[in-house]
Chain A
Amino acid sequence: MAFYIARRLLATIPVLFVLSVIVFLIIYLIPGDPAAVMLGDGASPETIEALREQMGLNLPLLQQYGRWIGHALQGNLGDSLFMRQSVRAALAEHLGPTLSLAVLAELIAVVIALPLGIRAASRRGEAADKALTGFSLFGITVPGFVLSMFTVLLFSVQLKWLPVSGYKPLSAGLWTHLQYLILPALSLGIVQAALLARVVRSSMLDVLNESFVKTALAKGVGERGIVYRHVLHNSWLPILTVVGGSFGTLIAGAAVIESIFNIPGMGQLLVNSVQRRDYSVIQGVVLFVAFAYVLVNLVVDLLYAIVDPRVRLQ
């Protein structure tokens, strides 16, 4: 098991490296002088030069990367040009709402997808299975942000059940918190559920074909026992992988949806920064989310070891 963990950790390093290089290089996609673009038209050559110096743009490329990643590893992602605060502080401020939204959406996705996928797999070909096929087509076809605008139209504008937009932190009370989050989380979660349910179904079908299912049947285990004790227990790996992988999609989806619901999360921070050309914040957000995404997947891989004794006892 120690070997397995070490191998997984090592395999993560090159991915993180390439990822950081890509984020670093984003600045160089800016046509012309990044410092001049950031400061806008009215800036004097002196201010531009000062910013170049501050950002280290005058150093050789390799050295720039070294400086940048060195700082990033210490948690220093630079300063925002517009918000008079460090990127780290800005991230910390906007992390909560996004995390709340993503976790709630993931929860909704799992709660919908698990029973649906299990039902479809154990009654393949029947109505439940066909419903799942339709649902998963719906999931890949209707983008989360379109769905959420439709839900706003229905629940907030027509029925007036829920607030149209805004955000109240958890400290304002769980119910208030959820009231503002439920619509965005539902739209994100439903789309995610469609994908997840399909994975649950297909990974369960794979296991249903295994010989030990026949053994269980021959032992006199009933349908429920087969599904829950034998099949589901062996299907967790692909399901976990998708749940872990969906975290990144959810954060990205949250970024778009936050702007619909006016939720002060990382998505809104990103979008605002794009409009202000605040590149250090853009880099910070993207680097942070991608790192988190890779690390979540790493954690999922390590969870395998707990779920599957074959990995654990390797």
Chain B
Amino acid sequence: MTSLTSLDSATSLDAAEDAAENSADSITTADERSPAELAAGRLRLRRENRRLFVRRFLANKSAVIGSALLLLVAVVSLLAPWLTGRDPYALEVADRLKPPGAEYPLGTDNFGRDLLTRVLYGTRMSAEIGFVVALSSSLLGLVVGLYAGYVKWLDQILMRVMDGLFAFPAILLAIAMMAALGPSVGNLMICLTIVFVPSIARLVRSSTLVAKEQTYVEAMHALGASHNRIVWKHLMPAALSPLIVQGSFVFAEAIIVEAALSFLGAGIPAPTPSLGNLLSDGKLFIYNSSWMTIFPGLALVVVVLAMNLFGDGLRDLLDPHARRAGKKR
């Protein structure tokens, strides 16, 4: 269960079939068809599923716009060093605070650095941090949530800790931890991961609690499957699609918190171009050099918008249940 298409229908039913499939070697099935026929049929089904998924994807406006924007952000992030051919740290004292024009499309900052280059690098930094934080907090949250949901006594301990972490407003906890650890990109990633683990863990736990009660899980027990096998092979797939959706929202949220922290001087240390740092510089010159605020601000909005639209679309595609619940009359 790794391809996106199978995620599409990673419901408990699907997992149950999977379970039946896995135990097929030990149990004689009534099905008379040859293995080759079965495999061909399965392939056909998978192809059909994929086609259906593509059609639903194209019909989903937020998914399409979100993906397009995301692609743009990804291209900008990857190609940042080559797009303008300028160094984000290069000072041009003579060209301080130049408004947007032919030479500097987005103007320059108070040190005469090219704002466009810095915005591109800042976007890259935001995307990088968002990606790492979304990935690591998803992985950590997945482990915590799965075991909390599966092992009763662990649940009490793990979820109390998560409740405690959850009780802090995200930015506040991150500021406090950054204050202790000291500003650096690595530390920021660690702090944001800790901040976002609880929301993921809660989600995974609740889906695990439901999946655990399914009959096939009990059957797996009876067949003598190990706990770890049940957790990773049967409970994890059920949690995967809500996890991916939530992960995309964490991506967006992490970018916002990173920007806020850097803006306050508790995030990424100063000369490094990050959108928060750029906005922080912009604040000082808001009177006369509005471009220093406007462009980094817009870039931040675009990156977050891309992620949110993408997440919304993903939820519609992966988790039609949630959509229907949200849109019911």
Do A and B contact each other directly (Cβ–Cβ < 8 Å)?
yes
Residues of chain A having any CB pair with chain B under 8 Å: 14-15, 17-19, 21-23, 26-31, 124, 137, 140-143, 145-146, 149-150, 152-153, 157, 164, 202, 205-206, 208-209, 248-249, 251-253, 255-256, 259-260, 270-271, 273-275, 277, 279, 282-283, 285-286, 289-290, 293-294
Residue contacts A-B, CB under 8 angstroms, 23 given: A18-B167, A19-B167, A19-B168, A22-B173, A26-B177, A30-B180, A137-B308, A137-B309, A141-B252, A143-B259, A143-B304, A146-B259, A150-B297, A153-B294, A209-B329, A249-B169, A252-B169, A271-B264, A274-B178, A274-B266, A286-B176, A290-B169, A294-B167
Query: When the two chains form the complex, which single residue of B169, B181, B265 contacts A29, counting CB atoms closer than 8 Å?
Result: B181
Known interface pairs A248-B169, A274-B265, A294-B167. Does A283 touch B176 (Cβ–Cβ under 8 Å)? yes
Q: Which chain B residues in 254-297 approach chain A with CB under 8 Å? A: 256, 259-260, 263-266, 279, 282-283, 286-287, 290, 293-294, 297
Residues of A contacting B224 in the complex (Cβ-Cβ under 8 angstroms): none
A206 and B287 alpha carbons, distance in the complex (Å): 48
B35 within 8 A of A: no
A19 and B304 alpha carbons, distance in the complex (Å): 30
Q: Are B169 and A149 in contact (CB under 8 A)?
A: no
CB-CB nearest 4 A-B residue pairs: A18-B164, A252-B169, A29-B180, A274-B179
B163 within 8 A of A: yes
Known interface pairs A146-B279, A146-B300, A256-B263. Does A26 touch B171 (Cβ–Cβ under 8 Å)? no
A68 and B61 alpha carbons, distance in the complex (Å): 54
Known interface pairs A149-B293, A157-B286. Does A22 touch B181 (Cβ–Cβ under 8 Å)? no
Residues of B contacting A283 in the complex (Cβ-Cβ under 8 angstroms): 176
A286 and B176 alpha carbons, distance in the complex (Å): 7
B135 within 8 A of A: no
B305 within 8 A of A: yes
Number of interface residues of B (CB under 8 A): 47
Q: Are B164 and A202 in contact (CB under 8 A)?
A: no
Q: Are A252 and B172 in contact (CB under 8 A)?
A: yes
Chain B interface main SS type: helix
B152 within 8 A of A: no
Chain A interface main SS type: helix
Q: Are A146 and B301 in contact (CB under 8 A)?
A: yes
Q: Are A141 and B304 in contact (CB under 8 A)?
A: yes
B326 within 8 A of A: yes
B46 within 8 A of A: no
Seed contacts A22-B164, A140-B304; 8 additional CB < 8 Å A-B pairs: A30-B181, A146-B259, A146-B300, A149-B293, A150-B294, A164-B287, A206-B328, A279-B180
Query: Which residue of the partner chain A has the closest CB to B249?
Result: A140
- Shortest distance from the beta carbon of A244 to any chain B beta carbon, whole Å: 12
B160 within 8 A of A: yes
Q: Which of A143, A209, A282 is most buried by chain B, counting CB atoms within 10 A of its CB?
A: A143
